[in-house]
Amino acid sequence: MPSPTQRVLSRVPHRLRPFLVRHRRPVKFLLVGGTCFLLTTVLNFGLRHTVFAAKPVVALTVATVLATAVSYVLNRQWSFRAHGRQREAVLYLVVSGLAVLVNDAPLVVSRYLLDLREPHVTAFAEEAADFFSGMIVGTFLAMLFRYWAMNRWVFTHRADPARTLAARPP
């Protein structure tokens, strides 16, 4: 019986398979990140237009923290499955906490340093500036930071190769 990864690869064009296999960890990281980006976007907009209508930075922070919890589970179980160490959850929380600050920084600059908020700009311009600075620029910078930091400090040690191979079905 083929593994889930083998089933997915069987649907990918043949020319792309070697690239995906060779770069599987960054590809998996990006897929998890894309999923969590969508989750963050939905949560952020939901929170911004209900509970935190007057606090967009808080809404983005809460949405990012919730998506980060999902990201940990997905990255641990899939992207970095054969890596890690005992203290990884604590290190992941520290790196993710720093990444939340990196993610929030462009929104803070946009809103409070550049004054891209009402009454200085239209409601549409405020929404566009918030989305671009918080969701696009902030997420991109945080993604780069997370990938670097996860490889550097969190998921650094490979598991015993014999144990990893024995755990896989033939």
Q: What is the mean pLDDT of residues 104-132?
A: 94
DSSP secondary structure, 63-77, as one string = HHHHHHHHHHHHIII
| 83 bridge partner residues | 158
How would residue 140 be classed by pLDDT, with cut points 50, 70 and 90?
very high
At residue 82, the pLDDT reads: 56
- Domain-located, residue 7: no
Residue 86 in this model has a pLDDT that exceeds 70? no
- Domain-located, residue 166: no
- Domain of 55 in residue numbering reads as 14-157
Structural domain tally of the chain?
1
Which residues, 6+ apart, have CB-to-CB distance to 114 below 8 Å? 129
Residue 147 in this model has a pLDDT that exceeds 80? yes
- Domain-located, residue 52: yes
- The better pLDDT of the pair 92, 118 is held by 118
Residue 170 in this model has a pLDDT that exceeds 80? no
CA distance 138 to 38: 14
CA neighbor of 143 nearest in space, from 84, 82, 67, 83:
67
Residue 8 in this model has a pLDDT that exceeds 80? no
At residue 51, the pLDDT reads: 95
CA distance 138 to 73: 22
CA neighbor of 100 nearest in space, from 134, 50, 130:
134
- Domain-located, residue 134: yes
- Domain-located, residue 168: no
Q: What is the mean pLDDT of residues 151-170?
A: 57
- Domain-located, residue 4: no
Residue count (the chain): 170
- Domain-located, residue 55: yes
- Domain-located, residue 92: yes
* pTM score: 0.74
Least confident of 31-35, 36-40, 85-89, 100-104: 85-89
How would residue 158 be classed by pLDDT, with cut points 50, 70 and 90?
low
